């Protein structure tokens, strides 16, 4: 219970004390903080194993790095070090260390991600508390933990989890630096950005302009010193992020893995092209978009505008100011986004008369609004108008910015609730949030219809009663405030529960239920297959892997059956179950109803979004004399290779990298590997009887086929497969075509 001495949202004088002296902490704060962090951990760890290997593309790299320090350093897809993932490896390192210590498994891979979510909540709490008190910090932490896309990505093995943590640390360090113009904290901010670059390249730099400008203008020291401090921070950033880049670029290309995602075996090319400016303008040579203006995702059998995207704009959905609020994206991140924007304006208005320097209380409060608000606005603008590859889960980067503004803005308006303007602003923000939650909940047909009405009615009642409660005394005010907070967080909380109760696998995942016009649903867009008689393979509803699939909705997503034309990308064996000795429960390529199929049945071919399911027969073939070869097998596409590698534990070469379009290896290199006896098997596409090949949904694709090399950026998969077919005997093993590269036919 709060007292006059330790209010939930302290006045400016009290904020100064609580930000600087631990002795001023109210007695309830430590238990409340502990409860927040424990609840966040419980949410993120709940049934974590249901996602199996999650994104097998990264899990295979984790498995490789746990066995080879060279693969650890470079982020190789396999322990033979043929090719890297298409990102720098910092996000993989914690997972690799975990697997080295505790062995390979779903929990060992995903627990580090969940702990990053708890860490982000703690850093956010510490940042908001310094100027706005423990009540605001608790609200910010809860808002972040209950953001659906955060509940998704901190239970998944994509790089976005570590990126979000490091971006939050960056803002925290900048705010600490502004409080007294302390060089140490600004240098630490540079270090955080450098490691964020080693996590997801140029996305780490998006928030730099507003933060650097804020420090240059507002730090309480002379201009010359400010600029010098920024220079030091920049040097720290270059050192923290550049050491790995320098080693990779100087390392002889012949003795390191090929840089996945590049067309010229260059990390700098990958950074500036496919993973850099190409994401902005859509010209991503070698990607599945391949240049959004020249066919883009549609060349791969995806709907116009990307999977589930709206027509027009970039190749991955219609761009524009409303992108973050529309379709399936809105339910990932935008529950509190309108409120955050309103509270940003309100906070700046309240603190606007403060001096420019941050040597005053209101000056630091305003700096906090500018830091979090500037980071939110610039990231939201980039996401809204980027024409390259864009997935819903990218929006997790916005979650800490939105959450911070919620806590800070509510704290400021709570202090002003006795004024007409403050009361109206606070009530209006709550009403806006309730209405928007009602809209978002209505997008998921049949999803908890009672909840959307409860949120709307409860939120509007609390908004209407708040101005009167502020004057009625302390008894009524806490009840009204509690009702308002419950109404604001009920919708995202429900989405979070749906998210954590469902396994998620594949390359494209989304939080919450399926919505009209989206590609989401439990499990997101996954890469499994539907059996010929409608059976679900492992990982589908009721299968050994839990409920990890997405559900289709009328009017949105892909038709029930796979691709837009109704074709099936491959097929499961009758019965849909894996034979004994296949992948561990929940760790195969999950099936999906109403989603894009890009995986395979047991032993079948894999695809772009997820790989094949591998049964006992294929596993036995791969593990026989595996130590005698550098690679037990080679397969086209990283997801396909990853499935066989994770099932067998033996290195499998990913020809063409993630998209199958990387020129790695060349045909001549592959021939040399075969002559030297380094590869045992080549895993073809489809069965030996069917002989299906082609690219997934692209030119030359056939029903049951998968991505077979080539594509917009080139690639040599088709050439290699043709050479193998002409010179080596084929046999069907576990439903897939295996070519024994040690037994040529001529």
Query: How confident is the model over 39-96, as pLDDT tens digits?
Result: 999 999 999 999 999 999 999 999 999 999 999 999 999 999 999 999 999 999 999 9
CA dist 287 → 102, 301, 533 (Å): 35, 14, 34
User: What are the pLDDT digits (tens) for 541-586?
Assistant: 333 333 333 333 333 333 333 332 333 333 333 233 333 233 333 3
**Is pLDDT above 70 for 27?**
yes
Binned at pLDDT 50, 70 and 90, residue 610 comes out as low
Please state whether the peptide bond connecting residue 77 to the residue before it is cis, i.e. omega within 30 degrees of 0: no
Three-state secondary structure call for residue 632: strand
Give kind and range of the element (H or E) at residue 683: strand 679-683
pLDDT value at residue 345: 96
Q: What is the pLDDT of residue 472?
A: 63
Q: pLDDT-based confidence at 714, cuts 50/70/90?
A: low
SS3 content of the chain, % helix, strand, coil (to 5): 55, 5, 40
Is pLDDT of 517 > 90?
Answer: no
Q: Quick one: which H or E segment has residue 367?
A: helix 361-385
**CA-to-CA distance for 695 and 411, rounded, in angstroms?**
55
pLDDT given at position 730: 93
The CA distance from 632 to 623, in Å, is 7
Question: What would the mean pLDDT of 188-205 be, rounded to a whole number?
Answer: 97
Q: How far apart are CA 672 and CA 628, in angstroms?
A: 17
Instruction: Report which secondary-structure segment, H or E, holds 238.
Output: helix 223-250
Please report where in the chains the tokens 């893995």 appear, as a residue.
257
DSSP state of 396: G
| Tokens 């304006």 belong to residue | 345
Q: Which residues, 6 or more positions from 228, have their beta carbon under 8 angstroms from its beta carbon?
A: none
Q: Taking CA 638 as the corner, what is the angle to CA 63 and CA 682, rounded to the nearest 5 degrees? A: 100
pLDDT value at residue 686: 58
Quote the tokens at residue 688. 């030996």
With vertex at residue 47, the alpha carbon angle to CA 43 and CA 50, rounded to the nearest 5 degrees, is 130
CA 159: distance to chain centroid? 6
Does residue 378 contact residue 192 with C-beta atoms inside 8 Å? Answer: no
SS3 741: strand
Closest CA to 349 of 421, 261, 252: 421
Nearest to 407 by CA among 134, 1, 20: 134
Confidence band, pLDDT 50/70/90 cuts, at residue 363: confident
pLDDT at site 452? 95
- For the cut 90, the answer to whether the pLDDT of residue 146 exceeds it is yes
Pair 418, 477: CB distance under 8 Å = no
pLDDT band at residue 734, thresholds of 50, 70 and 90?
Answer: confident
Q: Cα(491)–Cα(488) distance, rounded to whole angstroms?
A: 7
Mean of all residue pLDDT scores within the chain: 81
Q: Are 710 and 663 in contact (CB under 8 A)?
A: no
**CA nearest to 300, candidates 682, 663, 661, 716:** 661
Helix pair 106-145, 160-178: axis angle to 10 deg:
50
Orientation angle between helical segments 337-351 and 361-385, nearest 10 degrees: 150
Structure tokens at 330: 């809105």
Q: In the numeric block, which tokens belong to residue 24?
A: 């001023």
β 652-655/728-733 pair status = unpaired
SS (H, E, C) 250-316: HCCHHHCCECCCCCCCCHHHHHHHHHHHHHHHCCCCCCCCCCHHHCHHHHHCCCCCCCCCCCCCECC
pTM: 0.84
Least confident of 434-448, 575-589, 730-744: 575-589
Confidence bin at 198 (pLDDT 50/70/90): very high
In percent, how much of the chain has pLDDT > 70?
A: 74
Instruction: Give the helix/strand (H/E) hosting 126.
Output: helix 106-145
Instruction: Quote the pLDDT of residue 353.
Output: 75
């Amino acid at each position: 219970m709060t007292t006059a001495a330790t209010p939930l949202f302290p006045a400016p004088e009290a904020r100064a004390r609580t930000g600087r002296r631990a002795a001023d902490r109210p007695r309830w704060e430590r238990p409340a903080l502990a409860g927040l962090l424990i609840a966040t951990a419980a949410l993120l760890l709940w049934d974590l194993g249901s996602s199996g290997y999650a994104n097998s593309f990264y899990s295979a790299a984790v498995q490789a790095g746990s066995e080879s320090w060279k693969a650890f350093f470079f982020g190789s897809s396999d322990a033979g070090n043929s090719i890297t993932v298409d990102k720098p490896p910092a996000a993989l390192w914690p997972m690799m260390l975990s697997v080295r210590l505790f062995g390979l498994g779903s929990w060992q891979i995903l627990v580090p991600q969940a702990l990053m979510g708890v860490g982000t909540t703690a850093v956010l709490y510490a940042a908001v508390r310094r100027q706005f008190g423990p009540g605001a910090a608790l609200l910010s932490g809860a808002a972040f933990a209950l953001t659906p896309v955060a509940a998704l990505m901190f239970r998944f093995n994509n790089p976005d989890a570590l990126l979000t943590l490091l971006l939050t640390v960056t803002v925290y360090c900048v705010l600490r630096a502004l409080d007294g113009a302390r060089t140490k904290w600004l240098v630490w901010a540079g270090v955080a950005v450098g490691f964020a670059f080693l996590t997801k390249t140029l996305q780490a730099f998006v928030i730099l302009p507003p933060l650097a400008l804020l420090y240059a203008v507002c730090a309480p020291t002379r201009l010359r010193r400010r600029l010098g401090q920024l220079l030091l921070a920049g040097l720290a950033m270059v050192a923290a992020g550049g050491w790995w880049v320098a080693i990779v670029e100087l390392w002889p290309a012949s003795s390191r893995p090929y840089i996945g995602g590049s067309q010229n075996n260059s990390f700098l090319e990958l950074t500036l092209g496919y993973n850099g400016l190409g994401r902005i303008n859509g010209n991503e040579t070698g990607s599945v978009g391949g240049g959004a203006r020249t066919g883009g995702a549609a060349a791969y059998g995806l709907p116009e505008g990307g999977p589930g995207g709206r027509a027009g704009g970039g190749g991955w959905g219609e761009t524009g100011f409303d992108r973050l609020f529309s379709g399936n994206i809105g339910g990932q991140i935008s529950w509190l986004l309108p409120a955050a924007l309103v509270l940003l304006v309100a906070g700046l208005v309240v603190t606007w008369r403060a001096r420019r320097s941050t040597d005053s209380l209101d000056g630091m409060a305003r700096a906090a609004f500018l830091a979090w608000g500037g980071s939110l606005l610039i990231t939201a603008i980039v996401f809204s108008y980027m024409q390259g590859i864009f997935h819903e889960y990218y929006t997790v980067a916005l979650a800490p910015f939105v959450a911070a503004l919620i806590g800070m803005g509510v704290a400021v308006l709570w202090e002003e609730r006795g004024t007409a303007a403050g009361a109206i602003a606070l009530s209006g923000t709550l009403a806006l949030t309730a209405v928007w939650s009602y809209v978002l909940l209505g997008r998921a047909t049949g999803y908890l219809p009672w909840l959307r009405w409860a949120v709307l009615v409860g939120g509007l009642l609390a908004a209407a009663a708040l101005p009167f409660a502020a004057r009625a005394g302390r008894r009524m005010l806490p009840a009204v405030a509690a009702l308002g907070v419950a109404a604001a967080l009920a919708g995202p909380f429900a989405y979070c529960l749906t998210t954590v109760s469902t396994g998620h696998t594949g390359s494209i995942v989304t939080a919450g239920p399926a919505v009209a016009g989206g590609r989401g649903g439990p499990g997101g867009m996954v890469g499994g297959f539907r059996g010929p008689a409608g059976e679900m393979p492992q990982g589908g509803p009721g299968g050994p892997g839990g409920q990890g699939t997405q559900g289709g909705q009328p009017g949105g997503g892909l038709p029930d059956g796979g691709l837009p034309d109704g074709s099936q990308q491959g097929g499961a064996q009758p019965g849909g179950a894996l034979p004994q000795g296949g992948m561990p429960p929940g760790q195969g390529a999950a099936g999906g109803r109403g989603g894009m199929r890009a995986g395979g049945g047991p032993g079948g071919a894999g695809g772009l979004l997820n790989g094949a399911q591998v049964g006992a027969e294929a596993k036995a073939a791969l593990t026989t004399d595996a130590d005698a070869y550098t690679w037990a097998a080679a397969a086209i596409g990283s997801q396909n290779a990853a499935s066989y590698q994770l099932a067998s534990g033996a290195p499998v070469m990913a020809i063409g990298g993630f998209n199958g379009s990387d020129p790695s290896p060349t045909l001549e290199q592959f021939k040399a590997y075969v002559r030297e006896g380094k590869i045992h098997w080549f895993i073809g596409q489809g069965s030996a009887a069917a002989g299906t090949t082609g690219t997934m949904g692209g030119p030359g694709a056939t029903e049951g086929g998968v991505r077979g090399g080539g594509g917009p950026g080139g690639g040599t998969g088709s050439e290699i497969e043709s050479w193998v077919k002409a010179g080596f005997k084929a046999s069907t093993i576990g439903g897939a075509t295996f070519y024994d590269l040690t037994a040529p036919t001529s």
